[in-house]
Copies of this chain bind each other. A is one copy, B any other.
Amino acid sequence: MGLIVQKFGGTSVANTERLKNVAKIVTDTYKAGNGVIVVVSAQGDTTDDLIEKAREVNTNPSKREMDMLLSTGEQISASLLAMTIESMGFPVISLTGWQAGIATDSNYSASRIKKIDTERLSAELDKKRIVIVTGFQGLNKYDDITTLGRGGSDTSAVALAAACHADLCEIYTDVDGVYTTDPRIVPDAKKLSEISFDEMLELASLGANVLHNRSVEMAKKYNVNMCVRSSITRAEGTFVKEVVNMESMVVRGVTKDNDVARISLCHIEDTPGKAFRIFSLLAKYNINVDLIIQSIGRENTKDISFTVSEGNLKEALDLIENNKDLIGYGELSYNTEVSKVSIVGAGMVTNAGVAAKMFEALYDAHINIHMIATSEIKVSVLIDQGMENKAIKAIHDKFELA
């Protein structure tokens, strides 16, 4: 008995049969005495179809009009789900992002939620209605429709859960939880019953595609209890929360990311402010930098290597070359044939030797390590692309995660 937010992705609402499946989950939750807010994405390929339509008339449409166009996708799935629930005899209403009071900044196609005015939502919940809200969208100060960009519907769900003080935010997806590593690579990977926000954040940013980082960040900020579960199996799923059982495994999961490129600047003059210049330059152009290593080079110089996503590689290289005089380096090189493999776990910080154990697993598997970066709860290594699955298996076995 409480208030539960349930989010369903595009695959879960793709057709009539799936809509009925979702309606069953929602109404079961409602029948159990809970208030229910449902957040939906656009059906299956709807968003891609709309993007294609736009491309036909304009290869470079304004983001403002794209948001106007794309936001219809969620409006369609929200009203169809409401009708499905109506047909089962339950009180229900669908609301667009703006009807649900979701106010965003004005950054079209990648906006952020600023606040949620819950007046309408509360009124509908008070009427004992199931409330369906379109994910992925809101309204900016100009009264224009905005979309939240990638992972937007997860973020909508968490934001609504936070604003309405929901007891739980369930993210329904096509996997039944968060695993110690990708079960397609390691068949005996184990489903986690719970994971902390920080661990989930590291896993998400390291390539696990279960939850989008933004939604986890928001859940952490407002301490929203989240749960990842499958709309098909309806199994228990994985709970994401602030504090998890500390008796649990030291290493929570192993993950990989192939969308990574290494950039190296060699023979940088060893004077203060060099690193600052490089990374503030990249930050100015919104290029996210991941692993960073600075090493001593020859003859009073140093070398700096770091990784960016492959999509940002060209822009990053251009920026560095165009600012060669400002930065002052000898040689610029890059490599896209690399892969990042990481272990994550809140227990690491208090357990000595975790990193060493990971390196040992890689050594045993004859895998060479190019770069290493560590934080309190993760260790990442850069290795040759093609070796990542072998690395994951070796690490998973070493830590006995199965």
Contact = CB atoms under 8 A, between A and B. Distances in A.
A125 interface: no
A16 interface: yes
Contacts of A86: 58, 61-62, 65
A69 B62 contact: no
A95 to B, nearest CB: 9
A269 B87 CA distance: 48
A120 interface: yes
Q: Which of A58, A60, A78, A145 has the most CB of B within 10 A?
A: A58
A71 to B, nearest CB: 8
Contacts of A66: 79, 83
Contacts of A144: 99
Given A64-B93, A68-B94, A94-B65, A58 B83 contact: yes
Q: Which of A71, A72, A120 has the most CB of B within 10 A?
A: A72
A44 to B, nearest CB: 12
Interface stretch (A48-56, A152-160, A167-175, A374-382): A48-56
A20 B71 CA distance: 23
Contacts of A61: 83, 86-87
Contact of A58 (B65, B71, B87): B87
A50 B76 contact: yes
B56 A82 contact: no
Contact of A79 (B68, B78, B80): B68
Interface residues of A, number: 38
A1 interface: no
Interface string A25-69: 000000000000000000000000010011011111110111011
Nearest to A67: B79
Contacts of A54: 79-80, 83
A113 B64 CA distance: 27
Interface string A229-270: 000000000000000000000000000000000000000000
A265 to B, nearest CB: 40
A62 B56 CA distance: 35
A220 to B, nearest CB: 32
Contact of A65 (B16, B59, B72, B79): B79
A228 interface: no
A65 B82 contact: yes
25 contacts: A20-B57, A53-B80, A54-B79, A54-B80, A57-B80, A59-B87, A61-B87, A62-B83, A62-B86, A64-B93, A65-B83, A65-B86, A66-B79, A68-B75, A68-B79, A68-B82, A68-B94, A68-B96, A69-B75, A69-B79, A69-B80, A69-B83, A72-B72, A72-B76, A99-B144
7 pairs of A and B residues whose beta carbons are closest in the complex: A72-B72, A69-B79, A58-B87, A68-B79, A58-B83, A61-B83, A57-B84
